[in-house]
């Protein structure tokens, strides 16, 4: 699986000519393109962190999560190329995963020795680690459990689903529904750009088109510094223009 993924990456075209400096706010396709163009950067960084407790496949998986987060938050600052911005997020994601899976369980040597000697006298034999400190033994045993891979098959009876499919959120929106929603949102934002600034600002706040949730008339008025009647008039005027065919 990993070899196939790396082979696919080698066959992809080089990074976009814009060097990754555009803003993802331009359209949803920009986010996907930035991720697509920098998958090889994830592999390059992941290889530097091999031998620290995680397999290369797991390092790439964690790095890809960091890349996705970088693409979603990048705002096209011309002074910071996206590759540099993404590299920092990718390294943070990978190192955080290594820390989470590789933290050593440490207990004071003096305390451990004292408890072990006391139990040895009581039991008449050398105590096990679980008898000395059950919590430490439990945590160490848990760390020896291999991580769950989402692309592995469940292997239960005739169930041929992968672990990712089995653990999927049944309440999550379907990809097609999400795609249609994003497409409609893109059209609405394009239409808002044709309105006067004050009308567009009112409608964005009132209907939550800036991903901040819907605002009441009073909240919108407070943010824009105008009375509620003015907000209501601007909203009605803007909606009338949007609903009237050009």
Domain residues of the chain, as ranges? 2-102, 109-143, 175-241
Higher pLDDT, 2 or 214: 214
Between CA 51 and CA 55 the distance in angstroms is 8
Cβ partners under 8 Å of residue 70, min gap 6: 34, 82, 85, 86, 88, 89, 90
Helix, strand, or coil (residue 153): strand
Whether 2-102 shares its CATH topology with 175-241 is answered: no
DSSP 126: P
What pLDDT sits at residue 209?
77
Q: How far is CA 40 from CA 7, 14, 212, 233, in A?
A: 11, 9, 34, 52
pLDDT digits (tens, 9 = 90+) for 67-94: 988 888 887 777 778 888 889 889 999 9
Check: CATH 1.10.10.10 for 175-241?
yes
Contact status, residue 55 vs residue 88, Cβ threshold 8 Å: no
Record: fold of 2-102: 1.20.120
Residue keyed to tokens 């992968």: 162
* Residue 67: CB atoms within 10 Å: 25
Higher pLDDT, 112 or 121: 121
Between CA 158 and CA 151 the distance in angstroms is 17
pLDDT digits (tens, 9 = 90+) for 187-241: 877 888 888 888 988 888 888 876 667 888 888 888 888 899 999 999 999 888 8
CA dihedral for 84, 86, 90, 96, sign (positive or negative): positive
The answer to whether residue 159 scores a pLDDT higher than 70 is no
Q: How confident is the model at residue 141 (pLDDT cuts 50, 70, 90)?
A: low
The pair of structure tokens assigned to 62 is: 């964690």
Report CA dihedral (72, 78, 80, 82) to the nearest 10 degrees. 40
CA dihedral for 80, 213, 26, 224, sign (positive or negative): negative
Higher pLDDT, 33 or 168: 33
* Residue 182: CB atoms within 10 Å: 12
What pLDDT sits at residue 45?
92
pLDDT digits (tens, 9 = 90+) for 10-68: 766 555 444 454 554 455 677 888 888 888 899 999 999 888 778 888 899 899 999 98
């Amino acid at each position: 699986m990993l070899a196939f993924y790396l082979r696919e990456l080698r066959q992809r075209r080089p990074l976009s000519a814009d060097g990754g400096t555009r803003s993802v706010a331009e359209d949803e396709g920009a986010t996907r393109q930035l991720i697509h163009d920098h998958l090889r950067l994830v592999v390059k960084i992941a290889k530097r962190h091999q031998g620290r407790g995680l397999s290369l496949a797991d390092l790439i998986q964690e790095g890809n999560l960091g890349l996705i987060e970088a693409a979603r938050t990048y705002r096209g600052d011309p002074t910071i190329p996206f590759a540099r911005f993404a590299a920092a997020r990718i390294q943070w994601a990978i190192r955080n995963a290594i820390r989470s899976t590789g933290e050593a369980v440490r207990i004071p040597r003096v305390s451990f020795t004292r408890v072990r000697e006391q139990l040895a006298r009581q039991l008449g034999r050398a105590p096990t680690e679980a008898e000395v400190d059950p919590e430490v033994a439990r945590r160490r045993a848990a760390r020896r459990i291999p991580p769950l891979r989402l692309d592995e098959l469940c292997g239960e009876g005739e169930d041929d689903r992968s672990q990712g499919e089995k653990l999927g959120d049944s309440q999550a929106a379907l990809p097609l529904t999400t795609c249609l929603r994003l497409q409609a949102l893109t059209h609405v934002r394009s239409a808002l750009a044709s309105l006067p600034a004050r009308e567009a600002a009112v409608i964005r706040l009132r209907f939550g088109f800036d991903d901040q949730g819907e605002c009441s008339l009073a909240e919108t008025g407070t943010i824009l510094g105008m009375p509620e009647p003015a907000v209501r008039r601007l909203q009605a005027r803007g909606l009338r223009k949007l609903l009237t065919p050009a």
